[in-house]
């Protein structure tokens, strides 16, 4: 399981040179503006804009495809159901299956916004070390407890992934998956579901126990007994490139929101 979201944070590009604190403001504003897009012809505009930013970052496209794989499963149901269930204008019909125009446009809109926001998120977290991004969130006012939870969650995802791999290997060594029984494709057997449920429950309990041990160790070392304000060195001064990039991204975000509002007023 590959979870290194910042493995290309060392590259040299205009997006990498953008200071994390101001990159968080600029890309966050763009994500907010993209989420408000409701007009179909604006979808190619935002997708082209995010593709241009991704190209400027020099991140490999295989990195984008790998990170897109798991979130795309959540969209699969929407893509399969909406064109058949939403709308009244029939484009094609075969027996009980009816393809509807309004559902197709809704899928285009949802997929376009989803891809754009995921790409902007990868630019935000993939072009700077994760620790610097967390410090930037804290410098912008995010509570210390939340930033600590975010950092520890990211850190211990690797531990949970390693535990899951070891448990799956132990299951295979005990013969799981090699039983000579007839299986229906894509339909798991009841015994397999029971094993997967036990696996998930064991992993959850182990994760909870480990979180308790980590928290007790942190408390013994003084965590939570004194306020630790952000050091002055963690608040970098605004350089010229970060000022230009932040200004451009805020301008684009305002332009997108204003265009969407103007189209909505005319409709």
Query: H/E element holding 98?
Result: strand 97-100
Region 161-174: mean pLDDT is 85
Residue 32 contacts by C-beta under 8 Å, 6 or more apart in sequence? Answer: 253
Q: How many CB atoms lie within 10 A of CB 122?
A: 20
Residue 187 and residue 183: Cα distance in Å, rounded?
A: 8
Instruction: Return the SS3 of 90.
Output: strand
Residue 99 and residue 81: Cα distance in Å, rounded?
A: 10
pLDDT tens per residue across span 118-167? 999 999 988 988 888 888 888 888 888 888 888 888 888 888 888 888 88
Q: Which of 14-28, 134-148, 163-177, 211-225 reaches the highest mean pLDDT?
A: 14-28
Region 171-191: mean pLDDT is 69
pLDDT tens per residue across span 81-123? 878 877 777 777 777 777 888 888 888 898 899 999 999 999 9
CB 189 within 8 A of CB 183: yes
Summary mean pLDDT of the chain: 83
pLDDT of residue 230: 57
Instruction: Return the SS3 of 144.
Output: helix
CB 83 within 8 A of CB 107: yes
Query: H/E element holding 138?
Result: helix 130-139
Pairing of strands 90-94, 97-100: antiparallel
> CA angle, corner 238, sides to 250 and 244, nearest 5?
40
CA 161 to chain centre: 18
End-to-end CA distance of the chain: 47
Residue 108 contacts by C-beta under 8 Å, 6 or more apart in sequence? Answer: 40, 43
Residue 123 and residue 100: Cα distance in Å, rounded?
A: 35
- For the chain, how many residues are written? 267
Residue 33 and residue 250: Cα distance in Å, rounded?
A: 10
């Amino acid at each position: 399981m590959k979870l290194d979201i910042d493995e290309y944070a060392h590259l040299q590009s205009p997006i990498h040179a953008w200071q994390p604190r101001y990159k968080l403001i600029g890309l966050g504003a763009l994500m907010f503006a993209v989420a408000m897009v409701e007009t179909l012809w604006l979808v190619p505009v935002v997708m082209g804009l995010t593709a241009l930013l991704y190209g400027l970052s020099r991140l490999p496209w295989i990195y984008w495809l790998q990170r897109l794989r798991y979130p795309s499963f959540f969209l699969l149901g929407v893509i399969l159901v909406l064109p058949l269930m939403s709308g009244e204008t029939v484009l094609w019909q075969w027996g009980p299956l009816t393809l509807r125009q309004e559902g197709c446009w809704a899928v285009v809109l949802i997929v376009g916004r989803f891809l754009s926001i995921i790409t902007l998120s990868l630019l935000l977290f993939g072009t700077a070390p994760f620790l610097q991004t967390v410090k930037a969130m804290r410098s912008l006012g995010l509570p210390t407890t939340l930033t600590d939870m975010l950092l520890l969650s990211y850190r211990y995802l690797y531990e949970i992934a390693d535990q899951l791999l070891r448990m799956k290997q132990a299951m295979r060594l005990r013969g799981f998956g090699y039983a000579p029984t007839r299986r229906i494709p894509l339909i798991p057997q009841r015994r397999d579901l029971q094993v997967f449920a036990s696996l998930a429950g064991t992993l959850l309990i182990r994760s909870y126990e480990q979180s308790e041990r980590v928290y007790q160790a942190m408390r013994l070392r003084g965590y939570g007994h004194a306020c630790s304000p952000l050091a002055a060195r963690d608040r970098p001064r605004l350089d010229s490139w970060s000022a230009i990039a932040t200004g451009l991204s805020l301008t684009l975000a305002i332009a997108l929101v204003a265009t969407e509002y103007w189209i909505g007023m005319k409709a």
